[in-house]
Amino acid sequence: MENIDTGEITVGVVGLGLMGCSFIASLLIAGHNVKAIAPLTEDMESASERVHNHLTVCENAGLLNKPIESYLAQVVITEDYGHLSTCSLVLECVIEIPAIKKSVYQKIEKVVTKNTVIASNTSAIPISELQNHLEHPGRFLGIHWAEPAYLSRFMEITCGSSSDIEHANWVYELAHCWGKEPTLLRKDLRGFITNRLMYAVYREGLSLVEKGEATLEDVDKAFRYDAGSWMTLMGIFRRMDFMGLADQFEIFKTVFPKLCNDDNITPLMQHMVDIDARGTRNLLGLYPYTEEEARKWEEAFVLFNMEIFKLAEMYPSKREKKPVAEIQYL
Amino acid sequence: MENIDTGEITVGVVGLGLMGCSFIASLLIAGHNVKAIAPLTEDMESASERVHNHLTVCENAGLLNKPIESYLAQVVITEDYGHLSTCSLVLECVIEIPAIKKSVYQKIEKVVTKNTVIASNTSAIPISELQNHLEHPGRFLGIHWAEPAYLSRFMEITCGSSSDIEHANWVYELAHCWGKEPTLLRKDLRGFITNRLMYAVYREGLSLVEKGEATLEDVDKAFRYDAGSWMTLMGIFRRMDFMGLADQFEIFKTVFPKLCNDDNITPLMQHMVDIDARGTRNLLGLYPYTEEEARKWEEAFVLFNMEIFKLAEMYPSKREKKPVAEIQYL
């Protein structure tokens, strides 16, 4: 990791929506030169301002060590894919429609070298599936960022069935230069890690609410104030160590058989989709929102992220020793 | 809530282990007079120092507005159950063995009035079951605290099948005077809310590790840095609103059928119990620990709790409006 000079590595970003511009800010802060490709002409107009706004947030958070203009000098915003020719890594973050992604990959592969790593930020389409659209699929990976990209330590690097693990290892090292605590999935696990585990929570939570056993609000309160009080510090398995494993084992035995095992979505969730509820985006969600409230949640999320980012920094995980359980048992 | 004068309400605590002493600190800070009953003689000796230590932590966290000695003057530590006669509420937090709890309830009921609310901190035994040991079961509730009690907003109030809801409502109001964001379960749900939902995560997480699809460390990293970045702010359902509900619905449809549905405990967990792994307590857990590392985790947990407690305060939930979904749909 110490040997990586980010100034020597040019990174391409294709797709300059909210997420793409957020990645760009993170990459610029890490010292990369960035080629930012706008597949949509309207993004050409807004991208520069978006990147500027993100960098302003970073400046206020004390993440910058030079003026915003110096960072902006490291990025080229263009519609011309040709600029990608010098890139060692290209990040795709266009809309989650396979046909569109396919055409983007073709345009990228036309100009980059054979060794350029190409990665998608998708969370909806399996990497192994997207990989089929590439001429050189071994160089293709999933790199899944969390928003806002410059204020989150989370990053999931995922191999598809024909990804070259060397490329994944390189991105894994590089991600540390971006201030990430990355995870590396050698297999294309559906839902990756966090989503997969969170969906287990959503299934159980929706089931409890659906059966009238708990309210939405109480589930949220319990998670905010209980799980929230150790999540960022420990994750789930160290939490088990901290609580002592034997007691939990006894409770697992009685509670596991009571957990929801339904493959089907609850009628509550179906109803929300039927009425086109898009949450804070269209003010129609599980909770009610006014325009102002939705805006306040957006603002609170950015602020909270900044705070939890700083807080996490005080409790570093470093690269931890291999867990005993995996050496001894697995 | 504004009408509650905590100075007029004497609270009893039976069981002066680590948890009991932590509750006492929280109750003293809230302004209650406390009768602390030691069922074990050895606790008589240590309880006073423990409470003092907890209050010192609170003082350092800026939670006190008078000297520690003034708080200590509000508590009587004794082996004599007779002191409970003036209590409006008695909290039991003795060892999780039904026979011992039963004998404690008999001693409590002998001295208190018929209207005194009696509550257990149990997380392992159903409230409806414990309730059978009481002469007046209607006054019996579960009041489940999170540690450290004075630095956590979490509190689950749970009714057993014959609990009087009026008592539960009174404790719910009172808990706000203790700085809690309580949840109220009208039914004796196995595992209450948080544990129930977290067990769904543990089941899925253990299953992924067991199948070699993810490592313990990567699961923990993903949870720390992804789920951790919004958990304390939003809880799970507001998070769904924030992400937009329709996209998640599509992913639910593909991922729910892939989630683990096993009733059985994984061999990994069975193995940990077989080798008597008690995590940080005996330095043998899913992760390895030295004495010093275990101590550091204990310290980090207290510090982190203090920080997240303060952070949560900046993002108040207040008593939120009723969720739309429950009005419209349920």
Residues B177 and B200 in one domain: no
Residues A105 and A136 in one domain: yes
The answer to whether residue B77 scores a pLDDT higher than 60 is yes
Q: How many CB atoms neighbour CB B299 within 10 A?
A: 10
- Position with higher pLDDT, B22 vs B124: B22
Please report the sign of the dihedral spanned by the C-alpha atoms of residue A106, residue A108, residue A109, residue A110: positive
- The pair of three-digit structure tokens given for residue B16, joined into one six-digit string: 């002066």
Residues A73 and A156 in one domain: yes
C-alpha angle A104/A108/A113, rounded to 5°? 160
Do residues B71 and B113 lie in contact, with contact meaning Cβ atoms separated by under 8 Å? no
Residues A170 and A266 in one domain: no
- The pair of three-digit structure tokens given for residue B285, joined into one six-digit string: 């857990």
The confidence score (pLDDT) of residue B305 equals 86
Q: What is the spatial distance between Cα B215 and Cα B200, in angstroms, rounded to a whole number?
A: 18
- Domain stops at, among A135, A153, A185: A185
CA distance B108 to chain A (A): 27
CATH number at residue B258: 1.10.1040.10
Do residues B94 and B39 lie in contact, with contact meaning Cβ atoms separated by under 8 Å? yes
Where in the sequence is the domain holding B224, given as residue range(s)?
Answer: 196-328
The confidence score (pLDDT) of residue B171 equals 96
Q: Do the domain assignments include residue B169?
A: yes
Do residues B160 and B141 lie in contact, with contact meaning Cβ atoms separated by under 8 Å? yes
Query: What is the full DSSP assignment across B50-108?
Result: HHHHHHHHHHHTT--SS-HHHHHTTEEEES-GGGGGG-SEEEE---S-HHHHHHHHHHH
Q: For residue B151, give the chain A residue with the closest CA.
A: A229
Tell me, letter by letter, the H, E, C secondary structure of A175-206.
HHHCCCCCEEECCCCCCCCHHHHHHHHHHHHH
Residues A148 and A252 in one domain: no
CA dihedral A124, A127, A133, A134 (to 10 degrees): 140
The answer to whether residue B244 scores a pLDDT higher than 90 is no
Q: Do the domain assignments include residue B190?
A: no
Q: Do the domain assignments include residue A159?
A: yes
Give pTM, 2 decimals: 0.83
Do residues A268 and A275 lie in contact, with contact meaning Cβ atoms separated by under 8 Å? no
Stretch 127-166 of chain B: residues touching chain A, C-beta under 8 Å: 146, 152-154, 156
- Domain stops at, among A140, A155, A185: A185
The fraction of chain B above a pLDDT of 70, given in percent, is 95
Residues B219 and B134 in one domain: no
Residues of chain A contacting B290 with CB distance shorter than 8 Å = none
Q: Do the domain assignments include residue A209?
A: yes
CA dist list (Å): A165 to A117, A137, A140, A168: 11, 12, 10, 5
Residues of chain B contacting A218 with CB distance shorter than 8 Å = 183-185, 193
Q: How many domains does chain A have?
A: 2
Residues A215 and A314 in one domain: yes
SS3 B11: strand
The answer to whether residue B2 scores a pLDDT higher than 80 is no
* Closest residue by Cα to residue B181 from B34, B325, B312, B326: B312
Residue B313 at interface with chain A, using a CB cutoff of 8 Å: no
Measure CA A129 to chain center. 19
Residues B179 and B211 in one domain: no
A287 with B258: Cβ contact below 8 A: no
Q: What is the spatial distance between Cα A218 and Cα A209, in angstroms, rounded to a whole number?
A: 10
Token pair 């059966």 is at which residue?
A211
Mutate to test the interface with A, among B122, B153, B210, B221 (most CBs of A within 10 A): B221
Q: How many CB atoms neighbour CB B298 within 10 A?
A: 12
CA dist list (Å): A319 to B190, B217, B228: 37, 9, 18
SS3 B136: coil
Helix (H) or strand (E) holding A269: helix A267-274
The confidence score (pLDDT) of residue B326 equals 45
| For range B297-326, the mean pLDDT | 74
Measure CA B93 to chain center. 11
Helix (H) or strand (E) holding B23: helix B18-29
Residues of chain A contacting B244 with CB distance shorter than 8 Å = 278-281
Q: Do the domain assignments include residue B134?
A: yes
Residues B171 and B203 in one domain: no
Q: Do the domain assignments include residue A326?
A: no
Do residues A119 and A142 lie in contact, with contact meaning Cβ atoms separated by under 8 Å? yes
Beta strands across the sheet bearing A89-92 = A75-78, A33-37, A10-14, A89-92, A117-120, A140-145, A155-159, A183-185
pLDDT band at B329 (very low <50, low <70, confident <90, very high): very low
Residues B293 and B179 in one domain: no
The confidence score (pLDDT) of residue B112 equals 98
Q: Do the domain assignments include residue B110?
A: yes
The confidence score (pLDDT) of residue B328 equals 39
CA dist list (Å): A213 to A108, A311, B191: 52, 34, 12
The confidence score (pLDDT) of residue A27 equals 98
Calculate helix-pair angle for A41-60, A18-29, nearest 10 degrees.
Answer: 50
CATH number at residue B130: 3.40.50.720
Is the ipTM value over 0.85, yes or no?
A: no
Residues B180 and B237 in one domain: no
B324 with A286: Cβ contact below 8 A: yes
Bridge partners (DSSP) listed for residue A157: A143, A184
Tell me the pLDDT tens digit for each residue of B167-200.
999 999 999 999 898 999 888 887 788 888 999 9
- Position with higher pLDDT, B311 vs B81: B81
At A12, which amino acid appears? G
The confidence score (pLDDT) of residue A2 equals 52
Do residues A305 and A298 lie in contact, with contact meaning Cβ atoms separated by under 8 Å? no
Residues of chain A contacting B195 with CB distance shorter than 8 Å = 251, 255
SS3 A33: strand
Q: Do the domain assignments include residue A327?
A: no
Q: How many CB atoms neighbour CB B288 within 10 A?
A: 17
Residue-level pLDDT, tens digit, chain A, 330 residues: 457 899 999 999 999 988 899 999 999 999 999 999 999 888 898 999 999 999 999 998 888 999 999 999 999 999 999 999 999 999 999 998 999 999 999 999 999 999 999 999 998 889 999 999 999 999 999 999 988 899 888 999 999 999 999 999 999 999 999 989 899 888 888 778 888 899 999 999 999 999 888 889 999 998 998 899 899 999 999 999 988 888 788 888 888 998 999 988 889 999 998 999 989 989 999 998 999 999 999 888 888 988 888 888 788 665 454 555 443 343
Residues B149 and B22 in one domain: yes
Do residues B252 and A204 lie in contact, with contact meaning Cβ atoms separated by under 8 Å? no
Helix (H) or strand (E) holding A142: strand A140-145
- Domain stops at, among B185, B210, B229: B185
Residue B297: is it exposed, middle or buried by C-beta count within 10 angstroms (0-12/13-18/19+)?
A: buried
Q: For residue B180, give the chain A residue with the closest CA.
A: A225
